[in-house]
Amino acid sequence: MSDKKKNTPKLSFNSLWIYVPIAVIFIGLSFLNSGDMGTSKLSDNEFMKILRENDIEKIMVVNKSYAEIYIKDEAMTKEPFKKQVNSPFYRKGSPLYTYNFGDLQNFEKELKEKQDSLNLDFDKRNEARTSIMDSIIGFLPIILLIAIWLYFMRRMSGGGAGAGGGGQIFNIGKSKAKLFDKDTKVKTTFKNVAGLEGAKEEVQEIVDFLKSPEKYTKLGGKIPKGALLVGPPGTGKTLLAKAVAGEAGVPFFSLSGSDFVEMFVGVGASRVRDLFKQAQQKSPSIIFIDEIDAIGRARGKNSMTGGNDERENTLNQLLTEMDGFGTDTNVIVLAATNRADVLDKALMRAGRFDRQIYVDLPDLHERREIFEVHIKPLKLAEDVKLEFLSQQTPGFSGADIANLCNEAALIAARNNKEAIHHQDFLDAVDRIVGGLEKKNKVITPKEKEVIAFHEAGHATVSWMLEHAAPLVKVTIVPRGQSLGAAWYLPEERKIVQSEQMLDEMCATMGGRAAEKLIFDKISTGALSDLEKVTKQARAMVTVYGLNEKIGNVTYYDSTGNDSFVKPYSGDTAKIIDEEISKIIEGQYNRAISILDTHKDKLSILAERLLEKEVIFKDDLVKIFGERPFDKEKNQEILKSSEEE
């Protein structure tokens, strides 16, 4: 039975037991208070009768509001009393009756008269008594507050069923790590991780450490305590950590950095302690902390805003624990982040996360491998070309590709197909990159014409420029936020030269340039283009040192220390602004002149677009003729898809 299953019944019990004492106190006290269960109330006549017969031993006036009547022992044998005494609720020494006398003064006066006239020998006393129920009612708000507090504490510590056990209030300081051990074995292995060869090689060593530590310790070497997986989201960091656990066959504690964070001071640190204690008990084991930047951010940076002491305490505890456990404990901490630059330097020093493993976005070859992993469970048609799909998905992470495969399967199913076709994958790419198709978006014919010329402008300019990315298709079907799009097949360059950047910017400005040339009016439709070129131009000038006037200077700071003061003078700022503007305007004018030269072809393309809504590369070849720069590339692509 797994841990989780074991905990489930306990959880419901635990939630109940908190309320049990409260209920018991309430019920118990109401019982105590009703010590008068063996007494009954007397009417005026009955009271007078008992009084006159001199059967009363004592009259106790309680709180000036009612009287308790005690009967003489010798009278107990008389009929009404005998029945009362034999009742199971009667306790010896307690009053047999209570009597509501109404006005106390009149009652006392009457008693005095009767006592004198009839020569009665009862004893009359007064007593002030606080009823237990009254005090309870006084305490009720506090009891209620405690109950509410208990309830919320329980809710907050709840959901921690896992390694730490059920969601009791006492578990708030327990780690929330999810444990995969022999019962819930990690089945992921390196086979499930496509690409990432370098990273796999590095973690392979960790697997060896865990499997046969003696091999390394024999020679006096120390086993590393932690490794940091750094890379953008969805690139397979969690998958890799799981694969390490799966390969080594050791328990795997998985949690996210934010799981340490709680409203209460000290909880984070206590959770860290608990996590390491549990991991040591199950050693050899792996602790995996996802998004470690949630706690591992450099300390003391935001002291101006008061800082976050709780987070710092948690981080300090983590550092202490990592230092604390000996090299022989065989607990290895793997952590993942996409912001290694913001992490505290103390985390990275040797003896803690002394290894940093970079897990980057997959390249063309790796994407193909990832596709192969994820198409395994799918039913594919013959025509699916993985090579082409890998080319079509630059910038996709492993998670994106997994999502794409799933999306393609859904699209094929929606169209009642027996197998998933190549076109389904392409539709899925469109859908993921561009968003949902919005066929019924209302667009006027005039707007449509502007959009068609805008997109045709992009297509024409990029066709004519050597370094602009080759075009795949142009569409004026609105999707997501965009009204139309030109799709390219970007080269994956490791370094980019100025000319390449400028050509790309020129193609991006092609849309607005076409609007200006044809309609002599420009529109708001170029917003995202402008944003893109402005960023590129700024990067050329201030980051990459690609501007002659500014020279070989960069204002980029890789440590991520944003400062309020710009690292350049006011004069330089002016030059930077001028140069950025010059670059953009230059490319805009270049685009206009290219389009002017090919104005007739631009118009044919726009008309074709208006007519067909989507046009592909083949249509462009028909209008413009073969793109000279593409010949070699085309042959390569053709060759690889033929090989498939």
Query: Which CB atom, from 402 or from 509, has the smaller least distance to ligand ADP?
Result: 402
Cα–Cα distance, 153 to 294 (Å, whole number): 23
Closest CA to 391 of 328, 333, 466, 470: 470
Structural contact between residues 271 and 160, judged by C-beta atoms closer than 8 angstroms: no
CB of 278 to ligand ADP, least distance (A): 22
Least distance in angstroms from the C-beta of 399 to ligand ADP: 3
Which uninterrupted H or E stretch holds 356? strand 355-358
Q: By beta-carbon distance, which residue lies closest to ligand ADP?
A: 398
Is 455 noted as a catalytic residue in this protein? yes
Shortest spacing between CB 196 and ligand ADP, in angstroms: 5
Total residue length of the chain:
644
Q: Which two tokens stand for residue 144?
A: 């209620």
Q: How near is the Cβ of 400 to ligand ADP at its closest, in Å?
A: 8
Can you tell me whether residue 110 is helix, strand or coil?
helix
Tokens 């490794």, residue located: 227
Hey, CA dihedral for 176, 181, 185, 187, is it positive or negative? positive
The residue behind tokens 């700024």 is: 538
Which is nearer to ligand ADP, 361 or 472 (by Cβ)? 361
Distance between CA atoms of 273 and 286, rounded to whole angstroms?
Answer: 15
Query: Count of CB atoms within 10 A of residue 589's CB?
Result: 13
Closest distance between ligand ADP and the C-beta of residue 339, in Å? Answer: 12
Which among 497, 505, 468 has a CA at the least distance from the CA of 587?
A: 505
Shorter beta-carbon distance to ligand ADP: residue 164 or 195: 195
Q: Is 309 exposed, middle or buried (0-12, 13-18, 19+ CB in 10 A)?
A: exposed
Of residues 291 and 449, the one with the C-beta less far from ligand ADP: 291
| R_g of the chain computed on alpha carbons | 41
Q: What share of the chain is helix, strand, coil (3-state, %, to 5)?
A: 55, 10, 35
Helix (H) or strand (E) holding 42: strand 40-42
- Both tokens of 525, joined, read 């439709």
> Closest separation between CB of residue 487 and ligand ADP, Å?
24
Within 10 A of 636 (CB to CB), how many other CB atoms are there?
A: 10
Q: In this complex, which beta carbon is closest to ligand ADP, that of residue 207 or of residue 576?
A: 207
Shortest Cβ distance from residue 591 to ligand ADP (Å)? 38
**Cβ closest to ligand ADP, residue 292 vs residue 318:** 292
Nearer to ligand ADP, 188 or 462 (CB): 188
Among 247, 312, 455, 579, the one annotated catalytic = 455
Q: In whole angstroms, how close is the CB of 228 to ligand ADP at the nearest point?
A: 13
Give the nearer residue to ligand ADP in terms of CB position, either 150 or 399. Answer: 399
β-bridge mates for residue 256, sequence order: 290
Minimum CB distance to ligand ADP, residue 181 (Å) = 20
User: Which residue in the block uniquely carries the two structure tokens 């994407």?
Assistant: 367
Toward ligand ADP, which CB reaches closer, 181 or 291?
291
Nearer to ligand ADP, 369 or 619 (CB): 369
Environment class of 125 (CB within 10 Å of its CB; exposed 0-12, middle 13-18, buried 19+): exposed
Nearest-5° Cα angle at 472, 196 to 521: 125
In 3-state terms, what secondary structure has residue 254? strand
- For ligand ADP, the binding residues (CB under 6 A) are 193-196, 233-239, 336, 370, 373, 398-399, 402
Ordered DSSP codes for 293-334:
HHHHBPTTTTGGGT--HHHHHHHHHHHHHHHHS-GGG-EEEE
Task: Quote the CA–CA distance of 467 and 508 in Å, as a whole number.
Answer: 12
Q: Which helix (H) or strand (E) holds 453?
A: helix 445-464
Residue 398 C-beta: closest distance to ligand ADP, Å? 2
Catalytic residues: 455
